[in-house]
Amino acid sequence: MPIRNTSKALIVKDNRVLLNRCRLEKTGEIYYDLPGGGQQLFETMEEAVIREVREETGYTVRVVRFAAVAEEINQSEAVRTQAPDYAHRMAHIFVAEITGNAQIQPAEKDFQQEASVWVSLDEADQLPVFPIQLRGRISELVQSKAPVYLGASFV
């Protein structure tokens, strides 16, 4: 089973963070995810996060610093069989900032993404955010001067 590298962005502006609001198809439940996605062959993690943010949100960003890494291992045999590329993921999280370029129409929204929304850092710490290790820790990661290993989650 391959391990999928993903690159995620903590984009902060005016004490607010940009999150993708998503809805579970089966239950309609709302959850939030950082903009970003899978690394492509021969692409650096920084290139991946810049591309993915542009595709999902329409914003052009520059990476400020590496903030954290989180591991997600799916224990469902169905997921491991039907979507093995998504059963074990490493999320590399970067603090990024929007460049002076204007926002364009998102070209490729993420799976189950409804919209990109700006929320206060305090509110972000209260939301059901994925990866799960981010819950209650977004403000901490934005303010931290050193990268953080967020550990593994088993879903």
Question: What is the residue-wise DSSP string for 16-70?
Answer: EEEEEEEE-TTT--EEEE-SEEEPPTT--HHHHHHHHHHHHHS--EEEEEEEEEE
Q: What is the pLDDT of residue 16?
A: 96
Q: What residues does each domain of the chain span?
A: 4-154
For residue 5, list its beta bridge partners.
90
Residue-wise pLDDT for 97-123, tens only, equals 999 767 766 767 777 889 999 999 999
Q: What is the pLDDT of residue 104?
A: 67
Q: What is the pLDDT of residue 105?
A: 67
Contact 96, 53 (CB under 8 A): yes
CATH of domain 4-154: 3.90.79.10
Q: What is the pLDDT of residue 37?
A: 92
Other Cβ atoms closer than 10 A to 97: 14
Compute the distance between CA of residue 29 and CA of residue 32 in angstroms, rounded to an integer. Answer: 10
> Chain-wide mean pLDDT for the chain?
90
Confidence of residue 80 (pLDDT cuts 50, 70, 90): confident
